[in-house]
Structure 1
């Protein structure tokens, strides 16, 4: 349980604790500035607190720790990138209110099968205060929204791109399986000189050679990678092959579990990717349930109260029960302009597109039966279920998967470019 709770906050948004000056460890007499980042600072105590957290995480994985000076440099760089993004959020007016933050904390507790009080106690046993955890989540939410504004909202995927993707061999492969991946990135600045490119490629090939000799991928990622996921041992999580830029997508698809790609030049530098696990690949048919239904809607108004509307719906219900034609009464009385002229017929509908009250009554009414009058936010209804069917929605599902994959691919590329850009543009002075 302790390991689970220690890790439960980490994957929420960004995967790391965000200790800033406003909520850092308690002040110590020997605390000093570790780095100046634009208009803010990172304190030595913050760096040490994050370093301890990363060391504990690596220890729980059973991986060997890299030299402390190497790990310290990686951790400090992560703190700098996070600090820059938090400052962007502050300037952009991004705020996370207490009510929204409370909902997020309650959701985290619920996902771990705990009440909020139990969650507080579990955090305390794990050496974390609830207040620090709240600030951690607040910062992660801010950074996520900064990225949504600066990166995700700029990504556009056209209908033609989706069609081309679905028609491609890679698109078909992408829809068939999920891949759990890890990466190591040797970075290159924009406009890198030929000697810098050669040096980065040499480093990447040295790492690849070490991996072939049996070196631990996670340890090398922690020590050498400049990617966002370096301190997690390079773990990228589950991805579709098509979420990676070509030709990495095809290279990863051809890997066996445990294999690593050759170093490949990307816009961000030289990258190596390891395939940790595969899943999926069945391509199951996706069925959606639809209902053919008709209804009569009676709305309250200035001249007809809610009670009067209910009484009219009851009278119409009795008239239908007594043999009068549903469609005729719908044309005469229903106040749903979209269906009244069609005798109240809504045609085939997806239950998920309906308000909960209508969906519930419709789902509990047998085919060919009339419901008793019931109330929804629109007024009082009588409905009749005419038929039900299962519809193959595999095409729509595949299109959505393709859209998600293409957006994911563009997002990963754009995010790394943007992070490198904001780091290059920021004033950073290392003081240790």
Structure 2
């Protein structure tokens, strides 16, 4: 069975960066300073159809698929244009390290991953560039969305109290989502028309229509091409509007239409499951991050950390002072490089794996991740005992994740609404 990651890669393979050979075909959409080619649209539609066959999923008409494919490519194109303006790039060494980590996480060697990619009908170069694009768009999103998020101490306290009331067992939901959107400055007629469409969708679903097919054909949501599947969430990490409606609902329940500023939402509880409470080993570590640049080579960045390590071992330098002076991670640099207690699985694979080999107070060799070169010192390991601090950290992360998802959707809509978009081809040429 194809892994979830490789399935995701299939959906992003049709970007301009992913193309192994640039074809002289027609321009289908003008997107600000960029364009979307007809071949990109057709490639994405073909990929979605191939995935549907593999997953035994029914699909709507080609015209509905084309509309969704264009929207996906518009957003990707806008994000890549913004990355160019922000100067966000992913170097070849960063990219190679990421792909090695992907292979390791999939339980494969790099050669086995190459063979798996070939079995999917892809070239390794196409796959490689699709990963680069995914990393770039991820960085663009994080950079623009994080500054929109503010979490108050009262929000954390309220959620901790709610978690205490709920006890150890909490329900988790796999949600399907269809958004019937209306324009940003919708008239009463726009809203009424969207509501009627949403009610017709509910009627179709209640009569047994396939949820994923309708989502692909009709949804304005970000997960439309995935059949509306939002994945697994508990009520604390999903949008507040959804949490209030979903709580206590059983599998296969249909919910909606629920109105928001974006349109009318229809939810389906695809599945439910309980949450097991387990003890988790946490680590407290500190690091110094050096980012290679035009004026600082990969080799020199690594050599700097090797020199720091020798100075630390010899007692000639202080880790905290080195981090404050040299680390490119502003959040931890102010704390002398210290990251605080955390589940090591939150870190990127290269960082996580280096931590796994360290004992208390030991230093790693310089480690390359997607962020740059790290010198890591493990301070302490502990077993999570669900202390108050742990609850607050978890509450903060849940709120952050929820707000990040909400703000990401808002940011994408605003970017899309502010862009100049002109569809110049209809695919019939």
Shorter chain as normaliser: what TM range?
A: 0.7 to 0.9
Identify which of 42, 47, 71 aligns with 2:41: 47
Q: Is the 8 A contact 1:33 1:42 kept in 2?
A: yes
* Structure 2 residue aligned with 1:356: 358
Q: Given the superposition, is the C-alpha separation of residues 237 and 189 from structure 1 closer, same or farther in structure 2, using an over 3 Å criterion? A: same
Identify which of 5, 15, 20 aligns with 2:15: 20
Structure 1 SS opposite 2:21: coil
- Give a deviation string over 1:18-58, Cα, whole Å, max 9, x none: 433354363556x2111111111111111111111011112
Q: Say whether 1:208 aligns with 2:199.
A: no
- Cα distance between partner residues in 1 of 2:89 and 2:248: 44
- Cα distance between partner residues in 2 of 1:351 and 1:208: 43
CA shift for structure 1 position 107:
1.2
* Structure 2 residue aligned with 1:340: none
Q: Which runs of 5+ in 2 are unaligned?
A: 285-309, 320-339, 345-354, 363-375
* Structure 2 residue aligned with 1:431: 424
- Cα distance between partner residues in 2 of 1:111 and 1:66: 34
Q: Given the superposition, is the C-alpha separation of residues 177 and 400 from structure 1 closer, same or farther in structure 2, using an over 3 Å criterion? A: farther
* Structure 2 residue aligned with 1:295: none
Q: Given the superposition, is the C-alpha separation of residues 248 and 233 from structure 1 closer, same or farther in structure 2, using an over 3 Å criterion? A: same
Q: Given the superposition, is the C-alpha separation of residues 18 and 173 from structure 1 closer, same or farther in structure 2, using an over 3 Å criterion? A: farther
Structure 2 SS opposite 1:185: strand
- Cα distance between partner residues in 1 of 2:420 and 2:157: 44
Q: Is the 8 A contact 1:287 1:392 kept in 2?
A: no
* Structure 2 residue aligned with 1:219: 213
- Cα distance between partner residues in 2 of 1:160 and 1:195: 39
For structure 1, which segment, 220-229 or 277-286, has the greater mean C-alpha deviation from structure 2 after superposition? Answer: 277-286
* Structure 1 residue aligned with 2:231: 237
Q: Is the 8 A contact 2:173 2:233 kept in 1?
A: yes
- Cα distance between partner residues in 2 of 1:233 and 1:429: 26
Task: Give the alignment of 1:148-167 within 5 angstroms.
Answer: 148-167=142-161
Structure 2 SS opposite 1:21: coil
CA shift for structure 1 position 168:
3.2
Q: Is the 8 A contact 1:288 1:393 kept in 2?
A: no
RMSD of aligned alpha carbons: 3.6
Q: Given the superposition, is the C-alpha separation of residues 402 and 174 from structure 1 closer, same or farther in structure 2, using an over 3 Å criterion? A: farther
- Cα distance between partner residues in 2 of 1:211 and 1:51: 24
- Give a deviation string over 1:84-142, Cα, whole Å, max 9, x none: 11100111100001111101111111122221122112212221111101110111111
CA shift for structure 1 position 59:
1.9
* Structure 2 residue aligned with 1:411: 404
CA shift for structure 1 position 173:
7.3
For structure 1, which segment, 191-200 or 396-405, has the greater mean C-alpha deviation from structure 2 after superposition? Answer: 396-405
Q: Is the 8 A contact 1:170 1:242 kept in 2?
A: no
- Give a deviation string over 1:379-417, Cα, whole Å, max 9, x none: xxxxxxxxx997733433322221122112212221111
For structure 1, which segment, 19-28 or 422-431, has the greater mean C-alpha deviation from structure 2 after superposition? Answer: 19-28
Q: Given the superposition, is the C-alpha separation of residues 426 and 283 from structure 1 closer, same or farther in structure 2, using an over 3 Å criterion? A: same
Task: Give the alignment of 1:225-374 within 5 angstroms.
Answer: 225-283=219-277, 356-358=358-360
Q: Which runs of 5+ in 1 are unaligned?
A: 291-300, 310-334, 337-348, 361-376, 379-387
- Give a deviation string over 1:170-200, Cα, whole Å, max 9, x none: 9737972322111001112222101000111
Q: Given the superposition, is the C-alpha separation of residues 396 and 46 from structure 1 closer, same or farther in structure 2, using an over 3 Å criterion? A: same
- Cα distance between partner residues in 2 of 1:127 and 1:429: 32
- Cα distance between partner residues in 2 of 1:246 and 1:391: 28
- Cα distance between partner residues in 2 of 1:169 and 1:106: 38
- Cα distance between partner residues in 2 of 1:125 and 1:77: 28
TM-score (normalised: structure 1): 0.73
Q: Given the superposition, is the C-alpha separation of residues 207 and 47 from structure 1 closer, same or farther in structure 2, using an over 3 Å criterion? A: same
Q: Is the 8 A contact 1:18 1:79 kept in 2?
A: no
- Give a deviation string over 1:328-358, Cα, whole Å, max 9, x none: xxxxxxx99xxxxxxxxxxxx9899999343
How many pairs does the alignment contain? 353
- Cα distance between partner residues in 1 of 2:243 and 2:396: 16
For structure 1, which segment, 225-234 or 184-193, has the greater mean C-alpha deviation from structure 2 after superposition? Answer: 184-193
CA shift for structure 1 position 240:
1.8
Q: Given the superposition, is the C-alpha separation of residues 203 and 284 from structure 1 closer, same or farther in structure 2, using an over 3 Å criterion? A: same
* Structure 2 residue aligned with 1:83: 77
Structure 1 SS opposite 2:256: coil
Q: Say whether 1:97 aligns with 2:91.
A: yes
